[in-house]
């Protein structure tokens, strides 16, 4: 082993001051390489994100004229649609007006349409009073995370705009209002928080190369299609607004659909340079695969649509970084000025908290009137009486999913699983095996073994137990990632070496009389190591996601998966163990338990020569049930974007020789 002199003092300190029994098997000190070990993966991802943000900044500064900007817009839009997984062909909307409400200076039509076949959208259409001569300019309003009330929570903005001559279609997004995708047997929403359902839906989407945003954006585009069917609405030049999660969707829609002439996103636009060091990642549709890595930042959603009129709505007391919002505004304003239309970019900031506050509603309506009606002047909101939620309900039982034949996002994702099945089967024919494994490497992001760092081991302590010793070591996996490990060495090694990785951390099965001790007393040297964001080097995982929500989606935005990163950690550990005896390097036996299973399966499949045998215990062995029902705990951390387009975990299992594979109870 290569020992670093700087660690000799630390080693001596550990010997002189043995750890408390509860921490007997801890390897790392309370502070290690820049902070607490449990924040190691967070620090690593943040450093990658900072470098990517700086790279994007340099690219942005290189936009000198209209030609540069046009090329940039086209490139960013193309990449954005590609990462969303593309959109389907348009199908009949089959729109129906199912009710009307008379208001003071406006009216409301309750509407249901199909954004995809039998995928129902419930909407409230706020129109100027019938006495006001049409046709009227139209706009769509994307809801923020208003949970059970959905579209009804945003009626004040719709009413205000309608009273000033602009028709506004406010529709429920999936997971809110009347569009929950997951219902209890009695027809009530399974989850009361829209953010929970959005992210569960996202788990299903990721595996087939889509995103929850793909479905949300398509709903908005079809809402615009509905406006185009209306003879009372001016064609081809629409508005779009939304706050919070609806602000994010407004950004997406205004960047991708040229029919949106006038936009007003709010309480969402900011800048990754300000957000990287904060803990919030939003929910699934607010995280696009690889967007930080290839330079898609929030200002780009506005830059992509320049120079069409855009108003940023901001709140001083927002939890969305107001400084980041102003950074975004400055960047976008520079682009608008270079294109000769600085007057088409503006920002309204109100002294309020997160939400579609009165000042922002007034600012939005004045902006829409200017650009859609040609009317200048302030808008003042006077007393508006909201309607009861029941009046705005469109479906008979309050959920469109209860309509006959209704289809969920998961249903469409399962259609894709079936669509991809023939190509997967062909790819995994024996004669194509090398190409299939190359695809696994590419999609999961696993580097070839020869390109991974050859680990050096830092010994930092030793524990004596009857019949064996436990050496505490630290392995370098890659810059910024160090793996704490326990090397169990029997008095006399007579059996093959074993790498033991447990999803709950290296110490889980290390107690006297436990699974690892039994192996060691049989003569096996055993290396038990933590892998990324597990054990000592991971925060307490959120049970529903299987890890840190922030870390999982930060990695996702960087184009990485935890399955791929952990597979590389396992390969580094395996190579170290294989070469631990320099006189007799040998393939090792790999035992992976629980959440470590999918990463271990990837590692064993792509580097077969390194492993004599793979044992999976209590491990996932196929992703397909997750697409159908993504709500089982711990599935998000096991996703790989677009994997099912080329392979399933079951394909990896089939590629491992039967005599070299054991799948034990609980694996599924």
- Residue 667's pLDDT band, with cuts at 50, 70 and 90, is low
- Edge to edge, what strands does the sheet with 345-350 contain? 96-102, 106-116, 119-128, 167-171, 138-142, 238-243, 260-266, 310-315, 345-350
pLDDT in tens, 635-654: 999 999 999 999 999 999 99
Return the residue matching tokens 């602000």: 247
Whether 71 is in a domain gets the answer no
CA angle at residue 470 from 469 to 471, to 5 degrees? 115
Are residues 447 and 371 both part of a single domain?
Answer: no
pTM: 0.94
- Min mean pLDDT across 479-488, 566-575, 582-591, 628-637 is at 582-591
- Min mean pLDDT across 99-103, 195-199, 404-408, 420-424 is at 195-199
pLDDT for position 196: 87
Are residues 362 and 488 both part of a single domain?
Answer: no
CA angle at residue 200 from 196 to 206, to 5 degrees? 140
Is 93 in a helix, a strand, or coil? Answer: coil
Are residues 490 and 364 both part of a single domain?
Answer: no
Sequence-distant (≥ 6) Cβ neighbours of residue 526 within 8 angstroms? 487, 488, 497, 498, 499, 500, 516, 519, 520
> What's the rounded Cα separation, in Å, for the pair 480 and 45?
9
For the chain, the residue count is: 668
Are residues 92 and 207 both part of a single domain?
Answer: yes
Are residues 554 and 409 both part of a single domain?
Answer: no
User: Are 497 and 524 in contact, with CB atoms under 8 Å apart?
Assistant: yes
Q: Which of 353, 382, 415 is the last residue of a domain?
A: 415
User: Are 667 and 621 in contact, with CB atoms under 8 Å apart?
Assistant: yes
- Min mean pLDDT across 275-284, 401-410, 423-432, 433-442 is at 275-284
Q: What is the mean pLDDT of residues 474-502?
A: 95
5 pLDDT higher than 60: no
Are residues 382 and 242 both part of a single domain?
Answer: yes
18 pLDDT higher than 50: no
272 pLDDT higher than 90: no
Whether 639 is in a domain gets the answer yes
- Residue 517's pLDDT band, with cuts at 50, 70 and 90, is very high
Instruction: Please give the tally of structural domains in the chain.
Output: 2
578 pLDDT higher than 90: yes
Are residues 407 and 451 both part of a single domain?
Answer: no
481 pLDDT higher than 90: yes
475 pLDDT higher than 90: yes
Angstrom distances, CA of residue 149 to CA of 27, 193, 304, 384, 397: 50, 11, 32, 18, 14
For position 190, which CATH number holds?
Answer: 3.40.50.1820
16 pLDDT higher than 60: no
2 pLDDT higher than 70: no
Are residues 176 and 296 both part of a single domain?
Answer: yes
pLDDT for position 92: 98
Q: Which domain holds residue 281?
A: 84-415
pLDDT for position 15: 35
Whether 334 is in a domain gets the answer yes
Is 109 in a helix, a strand, or coil? Answer: strand
pLDDT in tens, 95-115: 999 999 999 999 999 999 999
Are residues 88 and 156 both part of a single domain?
Answer: yes
Whether 462 is in a domain gets the answer yes
522 pLDDT higher than 90: yes
User: Are 269 and 302 in contact, with CB atoms under 8 Å apart?
Assistant: yes
User: Are 544 and 633 in contact, with CB atoms under 8 Å apart?
Assistant: yes
Are residues 335 and 447 both part of a single domain?
Answer: no
Angstrom distances, CA of residue 485 to CA of 470, 598, 615: 10, 20, 19
> Would you list the DSSP string of 382-434?
---PPPPGGGG--STTS-GGGSTT---HHHHHHHHHHHHHHHHHHHTSGGGHH
- Residue 585's pLDDT band, with cuts at 50, 70 and 90, is confident
3 pLDDT higher than 60: no
> What's the rounded Cα separation, in Å, for the pair 470 and 26?
12
- Residue 542's pLDDT band, with cuts at 50, 70 and 90, is confident
Whether 308 is in a domain gets the answer yes
Are residues 399 and 466 both part of a single domain?
Answer: no
Whether 10 is in a domain gets the answer no
pLDDT for position 668: 59
User: Are 588 and 578 in contact, with CB atoms under 8 Å apart?
Assistant: yes
Whether 127 is in a domain gets the answer yes
Sequence-distant (≥ 6) Cβ neighbours of residue 289 within 8 angstroms? 83, 206, 211, 556, 557, 559, 641
Q: What is the mean pLDDT of residues 11-36?
A: 66
- Residue 594's pLDDT band, with cuts at 50, 70 and 90, is very high
Are residues 392 and 467 both part of a single domain?
Answer: no
Q: What is the mean pLDDT of residues 577-585?
A: 82
Q: What is the mean pLDDT of residues 252-260?
A: 98
- Min mean pLDDT across 175-189, 238-252, 505-519, 580-594 is at 580-594
pLDDT for position 583: 73
79 pLDDT higher than 50: yes
Q: What is the mean pLDDT of residues 23-42?
A: 93
- Residue 192's pLDDT band, with cuts at 50, 70 and 90, is confident
Q: What is the mean pLDDT of the chain?
A: 93
pLDDT in tens, 315-343: 999 999 999 999 999 999 999 999 999 99
Q: Which of 382, 415, 448 is the last residue of a domain?
A: 415
- Min mean pLDDT across 4-13, 71-80, 578-587 is at 4-13
pLDDT for position 395: 98
Whether 328 is in a domain gets the answer yes
54 pLDDT higher than 70: yes
Q: Which of 415, 447, 473 is the last residue of a domain?
A: 415
pLDDT for position 11: 33
User: Are 538 and 482 in contact, with CB atoms under 8 Å apart?
Assistant: no
Q: What is the mean pLDDT of residues 178-183?
A: 96
């Amino acid at each position: 082993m290569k020992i670093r002199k700087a660690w000799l003092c630390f080693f001596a300190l550990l010997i002189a001051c043995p750890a408390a029994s509860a921490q007997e098997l801890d390897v790392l000190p309370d502070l290690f390489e820049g902070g607490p070990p449990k924040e190691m993966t967070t620090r690593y991802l943040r450093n990658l994100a900072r470098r990517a943000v700086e790279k994007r900044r340099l690219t942005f500064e290189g936009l000198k004229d209209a030609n540069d900007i046009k090329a940039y817009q086209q490139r960013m839009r193309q990449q954005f649609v590609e990462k969303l997984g593309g959109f389907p062909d348009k199908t009949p909307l089959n729109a129906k007006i199912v009710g009307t409400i008379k208001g003071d200076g406006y009216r409301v039509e309750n509407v249901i349409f199909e954004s995809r076949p039998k995928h129902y959208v419930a909407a409230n259409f706020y129109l100027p009073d019938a006495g006001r001569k049409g046709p009227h300019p139209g706009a769509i309003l994307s809801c923020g995370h208003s949970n059970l009330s959905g579209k009804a929570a945003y009626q004040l903005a719709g009413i205000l705009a309608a009273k000033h001559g602009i028709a506004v279609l406010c529709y429920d997004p999936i997971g809110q209002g009347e569009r929950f995708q997951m219902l209890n047997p009695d027809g009530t929403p399974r989850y009361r928080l829209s953010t929970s359902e959005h992210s569960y839906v996202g788990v299903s989407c990721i595996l087939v190369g889509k995103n929850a945003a793909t479905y949300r954006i398509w709903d908005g585009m079809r809402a615009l299609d509905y406006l185009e069917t209306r003879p009372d609405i001016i064609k081809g030049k629409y508005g779009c607004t939304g706050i919070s999660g609806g602000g994010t969707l407004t950004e997406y829609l205004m960047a991708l659909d040229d029919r949106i002439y006038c936009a007003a996103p709010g309480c969402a636009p900011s800048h990754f340079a300000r957000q990287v060091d904060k803990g919030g990642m939003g929910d699934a549709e607010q995280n696009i695969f690889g967007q930080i890595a290839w330079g898609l930042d929030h200002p780009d959603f506005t830059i992509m649509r320049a120079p069409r009129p855009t108003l940023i709505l901001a709140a001083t007391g927002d939890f969305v970084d107001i400084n980041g919002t102003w950074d975004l505004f400055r960047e976008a304003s520079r682009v608008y000025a270079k294109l000769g239309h600085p007057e088409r970019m503006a920002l309204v900031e109100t002294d309020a908290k997160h939400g579609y506050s009165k000042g922002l509603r007034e600012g939005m309506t004045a902006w829409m009137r200017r650009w859609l009606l040609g009317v200048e002047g302030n808008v003042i909101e006077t007393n508006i009486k909201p309607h009861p939620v029941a009046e705005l309900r469109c479906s008979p039982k309050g959920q469109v999913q209860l309509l006959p034949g209704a289809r969920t996002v998961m249903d469409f994702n399962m259609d894709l699983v079936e669509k991809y099945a023939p190509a997967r089967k062909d790819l995994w024919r024996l004669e194509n095996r090398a190409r299939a494994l190359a695809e696994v490497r590419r999609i999961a992001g696993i580097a070839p073994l020869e390109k991974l760092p050859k680990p050096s081991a830092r010994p930092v302590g030793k524990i004596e137990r009857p019949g064996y010793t436990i050496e505490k070591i630290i392995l370098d996996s890659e810059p910024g990632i160090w793996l704490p490990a326990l090397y169990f060495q029997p008095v006399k090694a007579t059996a093959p070496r074993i790498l033991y990785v447990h999803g709950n951390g290296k110490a889980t099965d290390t107690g006297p009389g436990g699974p690892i001790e039994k192996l060691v007393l049989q003569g096996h040297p055993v290396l038990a190591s933590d892998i990324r964001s597990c054990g000592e080097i991971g925060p307490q995982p959120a049970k529903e996601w299987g890890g840190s929500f922030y870390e999982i989606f930060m990695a996702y935005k960087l184009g990485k998966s935890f399955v791929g990163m952990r597979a590389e950690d396992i390969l580094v550990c395996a190579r170290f163990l294989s070469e631990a005896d320099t006189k007799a390097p040998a393939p090792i036996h790999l035992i992976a338990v629980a959440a470590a299973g999918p990463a271990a399966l990837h590692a064993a499949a792509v580097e077969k020569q390194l492993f004599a045998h793979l044992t999976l215990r209590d491990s996932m062995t196929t992703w397909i049930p997750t697409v159908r029902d993504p709500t089982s705990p711990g599935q998000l951390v096991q996703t790989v974007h677009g994997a099912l387009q080329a392979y399933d975990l079951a394909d990896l299992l089939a590629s491992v020789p039967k005599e070299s594979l054991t799948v034990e109870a609980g694996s599924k």
